[in-house]
Amino acid sequence: MINEKIISLKKMANKIRMDTFNSVIAASSGHLGGSLSIIEILTVLYFDVMDLNEMKNEKERDKLVLSKGHGVPALYATLANKGIIDKELLNTLRDINSPLQGHPDCRKTKGLDVSSGSLGQGLSTGLGIALAQKLSKLHYRTFVILGDGEINEGQVWEAAMFAAHYKVCNLIAILDVNKLQLDGATNKVISLGDISRKWKAFGWNTIAVDGHSIEDLCYKFNTIPNNGPTIIIADTIKGKGISFMENNVEYHGKIPNDHEVLIARKEIEEEGNMWSI
């Protein structure tokens, strides 16, 4: 049986998906594919998992590093629905004077913990934050969202070794395995192989999840062990929720035409109608 919490999270994910889409269309520029694959992950993190301590202060709350910074339209829409940033701002995405830049700038946008966009660096940054939380004897956690193409970057693996060695149990990575990167299939560019075994070999706890199932995400985020760092390996679909964008590498950064925009909005609306009864 689906309980009320799950239904309200599904409704929220649908709202965030629509807001993400509309903001990129308003900007006529941005990365839809990689934003749409992390909508449910962000929804569950911000509306069920993370302790934000009502954003009362910067130190005493959980943190999030969007290492795959190009997916930030999804994070802006999440922060707006959470009431952390003004919803009106979503229409200003990528404007030169807007706090909502095409890649996250934590000096400009409330609620962003780290600037990102240059791939490969976020796990190291998140590791530093998690270590600081531990040293300050704070019980808070740091979540880092990585792309499957992004982990081609060597720096990721340096951070992975360090985090395991120091048993940084408050560091939780989420790997968005949408099987595509900028210019092709991840496994064609550099094969990930058995990615779960690789992280295990580096000393991490690994948890597999259906990255679009609110139920599975809620359940798995509750089973994170505290004996070392953990990576949640999320099986996702690039462009999720819009039929012609799903698994289509073209929509990494391409903007749909007017006709496609109508189709996309209709599909997201129809999905939302399933949860509004």
Ligand X SMILES: Cc1ncc(C[n+]2csc(CCOP(=O)(O)OP(=O)(O)O)c2C)c(N)n1
Q: Which residues bind Mg ion (CB under 5 A)?
A: 147-149, 178, 181
Q: What is the enclosing helix (H) or strand (E) of 175?
A: strand 171-177
x/- string (CB under 6 A) for ligand X, residues 25-44?
--------xx--x-------
- In the list Mg ion, ligand X, none, the entry touching 118 (Cβ below 5 to 8 angstroms by class) is ligand X
What whole-number distance in Å separates Cα of residue 54 and Cα of residue 246? 35
Task: Provide the 10 A C-beta neighbour count for residue 183.
Answer: 10
Size, binding site for ligand X by CB under 6 A? 22
Shortest distance in whole angstroms from residue 176 CB to ligand X: 6
Cβ proximity of 155 and 185 under 8 Å: no
Among 14, 115, 178, 205, binds ligand X (CB under 6 A): 178
Spatial distance between the Cα atoms of 277 and 272, rounded to a whole number of angstroms: 10
Smallest separation, CB 231 to ligand X (Å): 14
Cβ 80 vs Cβ 72: under 8 Å: no
Residue 100, helix vs strand vs coil: coil
Q: Which does 252 bind (CB under 5 to 8 A by kind): Mg ion, ligand X, none?
A: ligand X
182 lies in the binding site for ligand X (CB under 6 A): yes
Sign of CA dihedral 123, 128, 129, 130: positive
> Which residue from 266, 254, 269 is spatially nearest to 28, judged by alpha carbons?
254
Q: Which residue is nearest to ligand X (CB)?
A: 147
Instruction: Kindly write out the interface string for residues 61-100 of this chain, putting x where it contacts ligand X by CB under 6 A and - elsewhere.
Output: -------x-xx-----------------------------
| DSSP three-state, residue 183 | coil
Least distance to ligand X, CB of residue 65, Å? 14
Interaction of residue 176 with ligand X, rule CB under 6 A: yes
How large is the greatest C-alpha to C-alpha distance in the chain, in angstroms? 54
First to last CA, the chain: 16
Q: Residue 119 binds which entry of ligand X, Mg ion, none, with Cβ cut-offs from 5 to 8 Å by kind?
A: ligand X
Residues that bind ligand X (CB under 6 A): 33-34, 37, 68, 70-71, 117-120, 147-150, 176, 178, 180-182, 186, 238, 252
